[in-house]
Structure 1
Amino acid sequence: MTTQPLLAFAPTGSGTTIGAAVELVENNDGGQVFIHGLLTHVWAAGDEESRRYAAVNLLSLRAAPAPVIA
């Protein structure tokens, strides 16, 4: 049996940590959410609907507390 190597937390390291497992990376092009190093949400600049969807999804997954997500 082979062992899979651990995934990196997030490729950039320049994001905002949200809770223990989530990192938010935002810039002029849009944003990205990583959970345990896996890219889970992406949105373009100005796409507020997708950004809000990502926040609601993080809350429903209990990936971080609501005040931290807000």
Structure 2
Amino acid sequence: MVANVGGFDRVLRFVAGVVLILVPFVAPSVPALGGLGNWAWLIGAVGVVMLLTAAFRFCPAYPLLGINTCGR
């Protein structure tokens, strides 16, 4: 795997991942988000994927789309 996720992209993915992982735990206590139900857990799973792509600096969708934010 060649790194294809750059610095700014990596930080953005990390922050978004943390926020999305917290959704299933915060949603029941926020009335506006309380109606998410099982969708909240799917959103949390997307957050885990975001964290993993930030940690490994590789996004499997980027080669398919011809994107490389790594700058190498």
| TM-score computed with the length of structure 1 as normaliser | 0.31
Greater RCO (CA < 8 Å, at least 6 residues apart): 2
Task: Name whichever structure is richer in helix by fraction.
Answer: 2
Task: Name whichever structure is richer in strand by fraction.
Answer: 1
| TM-score computed with the length of structure 2 as normaliser | 0.31
